[in-house]
Structure 1
Amino acid sequence: MSSQVYAGPYGAEPRHPGWPARLGPLLVPAGRLELRPIRLRDAADWSRIRLRDRAYLEEWEPTATGPWGDRNARWSWPPQCMSLRSLARRGQCLPFAITVDGEFAGQITVGNIIRASLRSAWVGYWVSSKLAGRGVATAAVALVTDHAFTAAGLHRLEATVRPENAASVRVLTKAGYRQEGLFLRYLDVAGAWRDHLSFAITAEETGKGVVARLVAEGLAQRPEQR
C-alpha cells in the first residue's frame, strides 16, 4: 500500500485513506459477514449471482446500454473491477465485496468521494437474492458507514432509493440514515425516469458507531459474543 500523502485543509492525509481494508466480521442471521476489497477472481461468483438474479436486481439498478447477459457476463467483470480499484487508489471510492461465511454475496461501494471542505460520498450496494431479509445489507451498510467516518475521514454519506424499494428503505433506516427529500425523475431505471428518496447520515449522528447500535438492538452480533 502506498505511503504517499497529500496536503489539504485538514492537513496531510494518505492518498487513498480507508482502502484497501477488511471490515468485520459481524454475525447476522445469514452467517458470518465481512467486507473485503473486490478482486479479479470474483468474476465467476459475481457473474453467476447477477445473471441468476436479473429479475431481482434489474428493477432497481440504473438503466445501462447493452443486454443484461453481456453486461454481467464473467468477461465483463475484469474491466469493472480494475476501474473501481484504480479509482480507489486515487482516493475516489471504496469498493468492497460482501462475503457471508467466506463466500461472495454482493458488493457495497462508497463512491464519488469529495474531500476538502465537503468530505462527502454516496453509498450503493446489492446483495444476492438468496440472502435477502437476513441482515446482510444492513450490516454491510453499518460497517462501511463506520469505516467511512473513521479510517476514510469522511463527514457525510448519501444514498438514494426508489420509494417502491421497501427493503432498501428499511436497510437505510436501520443503519441510521434519515430521509432528506424526494428527487423527481432522478434516474433512468428499468427503462423510465424514476423518482428516488434521498437519505443521508453525518458523522455526528452515529454516536458510538452504527455497528454498535445494531449490536445493541440485537440486529447483529460480534463473534466474541457467542
Structure 2
Amino acid sequence: MTAWPVTLHSQDGRQPQVVLRPLSMRDKGEWNVVRTENAEYVGQWEPTAPDGIGQRITFRQYVRGLDKEARAGRILPFVIVVDGRIAGQMHLFGIVHGSLLSGAAGYWVARRQAGQGLATRALAALCDHAFHEAGLHRVEVNIRPENAASLRVVEHLGFRDEGIRARYLHINGGWRDHRTYSLTTEDLLGGTVLERWKQQ
C-alpha cells in the first residue's frame, strides 16, 4: 500500500480537470455547503444505522478518522475536486490484503454536476491507483438496482455484473438489495481503466 496522503489526477483536455485528494480541515466550510445542498439527493443512497441512532461526530473527528484509517491501509478516502471546487467524494473502503487484495468503492457527486462523467473519471482513476500503485487485485462496487446513474458509471467502465446481494446494506431506513459489480487486474490486460474507457 502506498503512503498516505495521495492525490490522483484524471486529465482529459476536452473536459474539466478532476482531482481526487484527501479531505482537509480547511475544506470544512465548502464541504458543509455542498453536503447541505445535496442532503436529500445524496441521502437516498447513503448508509443508515439499523437501530436508528446515528453517531454524531464533528467535521474534525470525521477528517481525522478518515486519515487514521487511510494510514492503516484500510481505506483510500478522497474528495472529488473539479476546477478547484468540491464536487463529491469517492472512497475505496474495506481494503483487505493477504490472499484477497480487494476493496469496495463508494461515491457521491453533487446534483449540479451529475451526468457529466465526473464519477466515471474519478472511479477510473481510483481503480487504476488501486491496481497499479496499491497492489490490489479486485475492486467492487455495490449499487442499489434502482440507482440508474451509478449503474451507468460501472457499465461505462466495463465492470462485471456479479448479481444481487439481498438486503445487503441498511440504506435510508431499511435493508436494501444491492447489485455487485467488479473489476480485476486480469480484465485490464496490462492497461488502465481510464485508457479502456477512452477507447470505447
**TM-score with structure 1 setting the length:** 0.81
**Correspondence for 2:7:** 22
Conserved in 2, the CA contact under 8 Å of 1:30 and 1:131?
Answer: no
**Matched residue, 1:211:** 194
- 1:24 deviates by 1.4
How far the C-alpha of 1:45 sits from its partner, in A, is: 1.6
Q: Confirm whether residue 34 of structure 1 aligns to residue 46 of structure 2.
A: no
Task: State the alpha-carbon separation in 2 of the partners of residues 189 and 127 from structure 1.
Answer: 17
Shift in Å, 1:214: 2.3
Q: Give secondary structure in 2 for the equivalent of 1:27.
A: coil
Greater displacement, 132-141 / 207-216: 207-216
How many residue pairs match? The answer is 197
SS across alignment from 2:18? strand
Q: Aligned ranges for residues 9-158 of structure 1 at < 5 Å?
A: 16-17=1-2, 19-27=4-12, 31-64=16-49, 65=52, 76-158=58-140
1:216 deviates by 2.1
Task: Determine the C-alpha separation between the residues in 2 that align with 1:149 and 1:55.
Answer: 33
Shift of 1:19: 3.2
Shift of 1:20: 2.0
Q: Distance in 2 between matches of 1:118 and 1:82?
A: 27
Give the Å deviation of 1:28: 7.9
18-27 or 121-130, larger mean C-alpha shift = 18-27
Please identify, of 186-195 and 157-166, the stretch whose mean Cα deviation from structure 2 is larger.
Answer: 186-195
Task: Specify the code of the residue in structure 2 equivalent to 1:17.
Answer: T
CA contact (8 A) 2:10 2:122 kept: no
Q: Which amino acid aligns with 1:175?
A: L
Which ranges of structure 1 fall in alignment gaps of 5 or more residues? Answer: 1-15, 218-226
Q: Which moved more, 1:26-35 or 1:39-48?
A: 26-35
Aligned residue number for residue 181 of structure 2: 199
Match of 2:168, SS state, is strand
- Three-state SS of the structure 1 residue aligned to 2:116 is coil
Match of 2:157 among 175, 191, 203: 175
TM-score with structure 2 setting the length: 0.91
Question: Take 1:25 and 1:180, find their aligned partners in 2: how far apart are those partners?
Answer: 27
What percent of counterpart residues are identical?
41
Separation (CA, whole Å) in 2 of partners of 1:216 and 1:195: 32
- Cα distance change of structure 1 residues 173 and 28 upon mapping to structure 2, 3 Å threshold: farther
Contact (CA 8 Å) 2:45, 2:172: kept in 1 or not? yes
- How far did 1:215 drift? 2.2
The structure whose Rg is larger is 1
In 2: Cα distance, 1:142 partner to 1:104 partner: 18
